Chains A and B, each alone.
Chain A
Amino acid sequence: GIQVEQSPPDLILQEGANSTLRCNFSDSVNNLQWFHQNPWGQLINLFYIPSGTKQNGRLSATTVATERYSLLYISSSQTTDSGVYFCAVLGNDMRFGAGTRLTVKP
């Protein structure tokens, strides 16, 4: 099946800093989603982005499908951005990376 690798595994930032999370995948995919998992386990969809660039407030994402990677940008980070960010790709089914645990310190 498709392999999904996320980096870095852990990221610690001061409030106000910017960050870039990366997702590499091993094969062509039908779609790609970025999720934020809150402390209660709910996976919140951030972006549905099989290709191209999208922006939503302080967050933006870019997927280069031909090179099999996606990037999630978080600007002016806030403590509420803390949590685990997952990239998931859809081939025949949706496969998740191991996640990036982001901690934003005040």
Chain B
Amino acid sequence: DAGVTQSPTHLIKTRGQQVTLRCSPKSGHDTVSWYQQALGQGPQFIFQYYEEEERQRGNFPDRFSGHQFPNYSSELNVNALLLGDSALYLCASSSGVHYGYTFGSGTRLTVV
């Protein structure tokens, strides 16, 4: 049973560029949430997708956007990258919005 799969695992981008991160949820899960984890801190909630719509959003600027596809996979897009966007980006999936979350291994983004 495949868990949550994220790609790529590592990425280096230049300030001002755009980046797309991808997430495939665990089999049977229909809800995807994205988190940003800066070094030494806890994960911070970015947004959550359910039924292909953004259901909840954390305190992140509009440069952060996302999408969920009919097969429940999801993308996180970040435009106009800043040095401060360097972090580990984690994707979590769940069955519905009120049940236990399973996390992927994350994408480590470095902005130079």
| Chain A contacts to B: CB under 8 angstroms | 30-31, 33, 35, 40-43, 45, 48, 86, 88, 90, 92-99
Contact = CB atoms under 8 A, between A and B. Distances in A.
A41 B88 CA distance: 8
Contacts of A86: 42-43
Contacts of B106: 41-42
Nearest to B46: A93
B33 A94 contact: yes
Contacts, number: 54
A99 B105 contact: no
A97 B43 CA distance: 8
Interface stretch (B17-25, B74-82, B96-104): B96-104
Counting contact residues on chain B (CB < 8 A from A), the size range is 20 to 34
Given A40-B105, A48-B100, A90-B98, 11 more contacts: A30-B98, A33-B100, A42-B103, A45-B100, A88-B43, A88-B101, A94-B33, A94-B92, A96-B43, A96-B45, A97-B42
12 contacts: A30-B98, A35-B103, A41-B90, A43-B43, A43-B103, A48-B99, A86-B43, A90-B98, A94-B101, A95-B45, A96-B44, A98-B42
A3 to B, nearest CB: 12
A30 B97 CA distance: 10
A33 B56 contact: no
Interface string B82-112: 0000001010100000111111111010000
- Which of B42, B48, B101, B104 has the largest number of chain A CB atoms within 10 A? B42
Contacts of B71: none
B33 A93 contact: yes
A46 B106 CA distance: 18
